[in-house]
Structure 1
Amino acid sequence: MLPKLLAITILGLSSLAQAAKAPPPPPEIVFRHAMTGEAAAALVEFVGRFNAEGKSGKVVLQHVGMAGDPHQLPHLALLEDEEYQKFFDSHPRMLPLYKVMAGAKVKFDAAALFPVLADVVDDNKGRIQALPLALSVPVLYYNKDTFRKAKLDPAKPPLTWWELQTAAGKVFDVDRRCPFTSSNPAWVLLENAATQHGEPIVSPEQGGKPALALNNLVQVKHVALLASWHKSFYFRTFGAGREADEKFMSGECSMLTSDSSLYLQLLRRKPFDFGVAALPHYDDVRGAAPGRLLPDGAALWVLAGKKKPEYAVVASFIAFMMRPDVQQQWVRSTGYLPMTSVAVSGLAAEGAPPELLRKAVERLSDRRFASAAKPKGVFGMSRVRAILHEELEAVWANLKPAKEALDTAVRRGNPVLQPMPTDGTVTR
């Protein structure tokens, strides 16, 4: 009996020793996102590939709609500025990406990023705060079939807002439903009107306090013109986000200003013969630079307050997403702006016009097109956009003139603008 008991004891002690020596499970990190369709499918594929390599840890993909408690913060979040409340029900702190990569001792070639995209996610010292993974620029889409019916040359899209007004009038004569519309109007129609014409979005006041500058002459002139179109039924609005995209793709609206990533959806769906052109500008404003646009969209942010081994997994995943083969497939699957030159071939393989790609690389590489209007030292622009949308709605409803609405937006928006934290973290 005693020998048997000793044997069982020895086996038990041996098992305990082996268990004590067993390595801890690899760290898991949560990646929260709000992507849908092909972009969501691409994320699933890339996360699966990263996990299959199994080198440093595991990434758990979590759609924001499936997050039981938004206050349980993830490690990574692919989100737009205005999505913070939806993602977290708060405004948590973020850890700048350059710190994450340096702390994990993982190589990150920030210089490889196109300067125009880096400008969106860097700080005042040029240090990268987030990965510009899902950015776009505003462009003009138009229905070539409707242009032909209206006796407009489909090879000559409107280049200025005055030409678009003429085109909208001719389209209205043949199809009164919706000559022109816009998605994301605060970004497309106001912020980019500022950048194209050399106006700031935020200006410092005396003492360095940030102040909105979205009620300058160009913006007032532009909103007043759009209001006149709205009254004439040349221009219709459908919401603060991308609601207008579907109105264009269904054929209801003949012209649309929206983000460039929609191009790939149109290319695949081919709902009709469509064209894409540069965002119109005002040729009667001195110093206008039509190509000086403000990219926007979802960036990949790292949340603060996590453990060092978890940040090591984050850094490895960021390095994975920067690999040339991953970038090429991401661009090919989503239509978002390529982060580096090696990703451009992904769009070429999808059939995008070579001339369009050449111009895209030229523009994204040219530091002159990096917008000086992007506010870097402040946060709160997501709430400012919500205010802008409310004031624009008052203009479209003929409740306020353009000047009063923009002055009100600036007065309401200034208190929500705050300087960035000084503890080395970032908030939006």
Structure 2
Amino acid sequence: MVSQGKQVWSEDPDKLDPKSPIIKRHKILCTLPWRGFLVPSPGASLGNRSVVQNVSSILVFTLSGLDGTVENKYVLFSLTALCYNFVLLCNITVIFSITSDKCLHEPMYIFLCNLCINALYGTAGFYPKFMYDLLSQLHVISYAGCLIQIFVIYSSALCDFSTLTVMAYDRYAAICRPLEYHSEMTNHKIVKFIIFSWFAPLFCIAVLVLLTSRLALCGSNIEKIYCENWAVVKLACSSTTVNNVIGYIVLVVYFGHAVLIVGSYIQLIETCRKSKESRYKFMQTCTPHILTLLNVAISLMFDVLYSRYGSNSFPRGLRIFLALDFLLMPPILNPLIYGLTLTKIRKQMLQECKVQDYKTDEQFLSTGHQTCEHLTHYLFPPPTLNWYDKISKFFAVLH
């Protein structure tokens, strides 16, 4: 897609014939927004037999992960649209259930609400573009759009992990130190935790995207169905040492998150062995957290391993699944796990459904009652007085 390593030799550029093949080719390349083009460097000499330096400029990337899916594109589009609507429904339902009930305005449920909001944020960076590509003949994305997609998708993934770390600390404080829990988990501290769960991922991914944007690229083909940071870095012509170092630092930081989670659960298990009430509380509130944590961690591990060490020899279906796993599974399973296992949320969701059904039934019965009255009045009109009865009544009044 990009012209690489090609040189244009010319005499004085002002004397070039406009109809020459070089000028025609340059015009064609400039009219195609996804092509590379040749730009003379500011200090280049244009004397006899001088070289115009070649600088590749990537304006559009090609996403080749969807190649070969043309035959099933409508089926895939229908399944993807159904999946995205299901993600929106599940997460918005949990968010509305928590925000509408004051009894659920507790730290654990507030962090869960933050997890669902982050799921909406992350899926918005992938599903609309993916559905558009399924129906499009050209699977391309602009350079700026690619960097934005990287930022949104991976900041959302890291935000999931940060939120789960905060939730693990919350469960540790609630079960291991129940007497100090309410004095420790104040509203001010909850706000700090939420800011941390968003600021740390946004900052880390912003640094990685800025480092990627400074690289000179020698290609424009990304062998995935969405933009991924390491896939863009592999296209670089220059050294990527700084990108690798910062990337490993981010991995170490979030490995530290995992150590904190494991440490908190070791303390939780030791505490729960001493009390039956603690064991019940652990099973009720920590089980969904563990399932969600495993879901997110395994999905991210698949994505990292596939990005770094994946091979094109894998079947196409397996490659698409590995690419979609962390974008598909956590946003769907997280609200389902919490919605089905946490009693308060489940009761609130069922209560909302019952209230809506009651309102609908009441409106239906009221409308039906009015309709029956009109129909009865039309079929069986009330009796009216004829002239003989009116005259008889008149004389009776006079008498």
Which category of TM-score, normalised to the shorter sequence, fits these structures?
under 0.3
TM-score (norm 2): 0.27
Greater percentage in helix: 2
- Which structure has the larger Rg? 2
Q: Which has the bigger relative contact order, CA under 8 A and spacing at least 6?
A: 1
